[in-house]
Amino acid sequence: MRIAMWSGPRNLSTAMMYAFGARADFSIMDEPFYAPYLAASGADHPMAAQIIAAHETDPAKVAQSCLCDGTPHLYMKHMPHHMLSEFPIDWAEDCINIHLIRHPARVIASYAAKREAPTLEDIGFVQQADLYQRLGGIVIDSTDIRARPEAMLRALCEAIGLVFDPSMLHWPAGPRVEDGIWARHWYGAVHRSTGIDGAEAPLPEVPPALKPVLDAALPYYSGLNQYRLSP
């Protein structure tokens, strides 16, 4: 089994990677197209130079690595906005594609705390909707997962034909060897965690300057949210 989990930033995606990584029957990959995306786009991201230096930047080679088997399963954490139009995507056609979504107000508030003034391009909703149209798959909302971690993980496992493993609910605090070099900037909260956090607070207020990004992202989120998995 090869799982491609598609998620925008600040969206429980690392915690979900850790949940699958806690299973003895899964290998995990952390955003393998991040370095190719930075090298090709020139996007001004934190640690961009270090990421490009430390990770494979050839999208064809990365795509080939995404065809490898795991132990015996492989879980890949991907971000839709990393998949530039010239990057190969055929490797994902035989994957179990899962689309992890989160209300854009939460995404924008969390992202802005790490990198100022996120754009619609940065948070990936448009690209995720496009990938869902192309690849299909299962939609799951991070707010539902945080509210009912075990029930939602059980439902997800059932939907993809995988036996639920209780080890998915807990992991040791600290980094994993599979983390990308960018973990030092983005993964602080996950490294302090030992499981999926509890239910989220009410929606945050988005600063007026970022309201246009919220308004543009909401239709894409709503379009995907109507298909989300329930326990």
CATH number of the domain bearing residue 181: 3.40.50.300
In which domain, by residue range, is 43 found?
A: 2-225
Residue 117 lies in a domain: yes
**Would residue 141 count as lying in a domain?**
yes
Residue 198: band (very low, low, confident or very high) from pLDDT cuts 50, 70, 90: confident
Does any domain span residue 231? no
Q: What is the mean pLDDT of residues 136-163?
A: 97
pTM: 0.94
**Residue 188 covered by a domain:** yes
The confidence score (pLDDT) of residue 200 equals 86
* Residue 142 within any structural domain of the chain: yes
Query: Residue 197 has what pLDDT?
Result: 86
The number of folded domains in the chain is 1
Compute the average pLDDT of residues 29-36. 98
Residues 6+ apart with CB under 8 A from 227: 139
pLDDT digits (tens, 9 = 90+) for 202-228: 999 898 999 999 999 999 999 999 999
Q: Directed axis angle between helix 125-135 and helix 211-225, to 10°? A: 20
Q: Is residue 230 part of a domain?
A: no
Average pLDDT over residues 9-32: 95
- Structure confidence by residue, pLDDT tens digits, 60-114: 999 999 999 888 999 999 999 999 999 999 999 999 999 999 999 999 988 877 7
Mean pLDDT of 131-155: 97
Closest CA to 133 of 224, 213, 67: 224
* Higher per-residue pLDDT: 189 or 153: 153
- pLDDT score at 186: 87
Which pairs from 209-215 meet CB under 8 Å and 24+ separation? 209/117, 210/108, 210/112, 210/117, 210/118, 213/104, 213/108, 213/118, 213/119, 213/120, 213/123, 214/104, 214/105, 214/108
